[in-house]
Structure 1
Amino acid sequence: MGAEIVQLVGQAGPAVTAAVGAYGAAVLTRAQDAAADATVGLGQRILQLVWRRRDEAGQAELERVVGEAADEQDAAYSTAVLSRLLRQALQNDPVLREELAAALPAPAPGTVNITASGERSIAAQHIGTAITGDGHTAPRP
């Protein structure tokens, strides 16, 4: 998989997950609400880009996958399913890659995007030691 696709999925994935979490499968056909959160709106626009580039069978499959992700209680699973869907769509459609790159906000120079997803997850750019879990004790220096 190309680095460009990995980068696009990394940028678009959180917005797509937020949109599906907010609207469920209706995200594919819902008119954008002016009061919608920016991330949810971006995710909705991304999914609609994918939707418009598919034939009828592809749209039905997209609906099924988005509906499954919306019904899932595990956010990490939903993120993985939606990221896989987005990667597959981008791998098979170079025009979609261009459209998605144009739809995503350009990161500021030197900006690092870090996403933490899931219950009790952590995210850091630079970190010495990160220990998570119940009852863990780390030796003190």
Structure 2
Amino acid sequence: MSAEIVQLVEQAGPYLTAAVGAYGAAVLTRAEDTVADATVALGRRILQMVWRRGDRVGRAELERVVDEAADEQNESYTVAVLGRLLRQVLQEDAELRAELSAMLPTPAAGTVTIKASGDRSIAAQHIGTAITGDGHAAPRS
């Protein structure tokens, strides 16, 4: 798999998750909502673009995956299943890769993405002292 596809899927992931979380399976057919959050709107447009380009079987698979992701209510799972489907579609369609690349914000040079997952997780690029859990006091200097 090309680095370009991996990067596009990573960039699109938060938008897809936000759109599925907000609209569920209706994201594939929902009209633009003028008050929609920009992240949700971009995710919806990406999913609809993939859906419109698919054949009957591809559309059914996308609908199944979006339904499954919406029902799961687990962001990590949603990112994984939507990412897997998007990687597959992008590998097969160079034109779609170009369109998606044009839609996504260009990452700034040196941009760092940090994610924390799970209870009491910490995400930081630079950190001094971090304490998670119960019953701890800050260290004394």
TM-score in terms of structure 1 length: 0.84
Query: Which has the larger displacement, 35-44 or 122-131?
Result: 122-131
Count of residues in correspondence between the two structures: 140
User: In 2 relative to 1, CA 110–22 (structure 1 residues): closer, same or farther, beyond 3 Å?
Assistant: same
Contact 1:5 1:97 (C-alpha < 8 Å) held by counterparts = yes
Give the equivalent residue in structure 2 for 1:70.
Answer: 70
Q: 2:32 is matched with which residue?
A: 32
Secondary structure of residue in 2 paired with 1:89: helix
Stretches of structure 1 that go unaligned for 5 or more consecutive residues are: 137-141
The structure with the largest alpha-carbon Rg is: 2
Q: Structure 1 vs Structure 2: percent identity of aligned residues?
A: 76
Conservation of the 8 A alpha-carbon contact between 1:15 and 1:43: yes
In structure 2, distance between residues paired with 1:80 and 1:106 = 22
The aligned runs of 1:15-54 (5 Å cut-off) are 15-54=15-54
What is the SS of the residue equivalent to 1:113?
Answer: coil
Write the letter of the residue equivalent to 1:42: L
- What stretches of structure 2 of length at least 5 have no aligned partner? 137-141
Tell me the CA shift for residue 47 of structure 1: 0.4
Distance 1:26 1:81 in 2: 17
Q: 1:5 to 1:124 in 2, by over 3 A?
A: farther
Cross-structure match for 2:100: 100
How far did 1:126 drift? Answer: 4.6
RMSD, matched Cα:
2.6
Aligned equivalents of 2:131, 2:9: Cα separation in 1: 27
Decide whether aligned partners of structure 1 residues 22 and 117 sit closer, same or farther in structure 2, where only a CA change above 3 A counts: farther
Q: AA paired with 2:83?
A: S
1:22-64 superposed Cα distances (whole Å, 9 cap, x missing partner): 0000000000101000110010011011111101121111111
Pair 1:70–1:135, CA change in 2 (3 A): farther
